[in-house]
Amino acid sequence: MSLNRNPFTWWNGATLGTWLGLRGKNRMGEDSLGNVYWEGGKDPNGVLRRWVIYSGSNDASRVPPEWFSWLHHQIDAAPDQALPAPRVWEKAAEPNLTGTHQAYRPSGALEAGGRRARSTGDYEAWTPEA
């Protein structure tokens, strides 16, 4: 936490109030992106509260699937205890890349040059009289 950078801003990570609210809560673990997961207290329905403190920008797509299932009470224990080890063929989770230079841009997108392949002879435009 950078005390000078984000004492009152939530979009760069946790605010000072959030860090103070973590007193007495249990740190459950950390993922490969550096996000830290916490548990403690109960909501008005009696369900145990769980939350994440992001490392970097607050973007929910940066939560890996195993921690997503823990946050949403689909598994009870931390993922490293409740889930089997990842398979060799599994790909690592990627955050949403929209708005970045790594975002997918199809061949006709303006950012990718704005030119697409000409249509083949199998396309016939619709007309209302037809």
pLDDT of residue 75: 92
pLDDT of residue 1: 47
Q: How many CB atoms lie within 10 A of CB 37?
A: 20
pLDDT at residue 92 greater than cutoff 90: no
For 34-74, how does the pLDDT look when each residue is reduced to its tens digit (9 = 90+)? 899 999 888 899 999 998 988 877 888 889 999 999 999 99
pLDDT at residue 16 greater than cutoff 80: no
Residue type for 124, please? Answer: E
Give the whole-angstrom CA distance, residue 33 versus residue 35.
6
pLDDT at residue 13 greater than cutoff 70: no
- Is the Cβ–Cβ distance between 49 and 71 less than 8 Å? no
pLDDT of residue 110: 79
